Amino acid sequence: MKRPFAKELTIIFGALLIYAALALAASDGDGLVRVKGLVMDLDLNKSILVVNEKLFTWNQNTVFRSEQGTPINPIEKLHLNTRVYIEAELVGLNKPFLSKKIYLLSNNVGEKRKQPSGTIKK
C-alpha cells in the first residue's frame, strides 16, 4: 500500500531536523544562541525583530545595551539596518528565539571612527 503523503512528511521532518541541528550548533552548550548581524525587519509594538533571517522576540527581562555596555532605550535606538549582537534561547521549534541580551553595535565596523566635527571650547 502506497502512502500518499510519505514524500511530503519526509521533507517536513528533514527540514525540522536541520533547523534543530542548526539551532543547537549555534549554541555554546549553555542553551544560548549568539547572533551578530543587521536588523532586517522590526516591529516594536509586537517586540519582534529579524536578524540574519532568524526571528527574535523580547520581553521585560531582556537587557538592551550599547556597544560600551550602558543601558539604552530600544524604542529610541533600535531601527532597521542597525547592527546588533543578540544572545537568545530557543523556546520551541515553531516559536521565535527569546532574546536575553541585545547589544546595539556601531554601523561603521571596519572603518576608522571619525572625530566629531566642530571646535573644542576650553
pLDDT at 29 over 80: no
pTM: predicted TM-score of the whole model, two decimal places: 0.64
Beta-carbon contacts of residue 74 (< 8 Å; ≥ 6 apart): 44, 58, 64, 102
pLDDT at 95 over 90: no
- Band (pLDDT 50/70/90 cuts) for residue 91 is confident
What φ, ψ does residue 19 adopt, rounded to 5°? -60, -45
**Residue 116 within a domain:** no
Question: Per the structure, how many domains does the chain have?
Answer: 1
**Residue 111 within a domain:** no
pLDDT at 38 over 60: yes
**Residue 13 within a domain:** yes
**Residue 68 within a domain:** yes
Task: Please answer whether residues 93 and 57 qualify as being in contact, where contact means their C-beta atoms are separated by less than 8 angstroms.
Answer: no
Question: Mean pLDDT over residues 40-50, rounded?
Answer: 92
Question: Mean pLDDT over residues 51-72, rounded?
Answer: 91
Domain that holds residue 31: 6-105
**Residue 14 within a domain:** yes
Q: Where are the alpha helices (DSSP H) in 1-122?
A: 6-25, 74-77
**Residue 92 within a domain:** yes
Q: CB neighbours (10 Å) of residue 48? A: 14
Task: Please answer whether residues 82 and 108 qualify as being in contact, where contact means their C-beta atoms are separated by less than 8 angstroms.
Answer: no
pLDDT at 119 over 50: no
CATH of the domain at 58: 2.40.50.320
**Residue 82 within a domain:** yes
Task: Please answer whether residues 57 and 48 qualify as being in contact, where contact means their C-beta atoms are separated by less than 8 angstroms.
Answer: yes
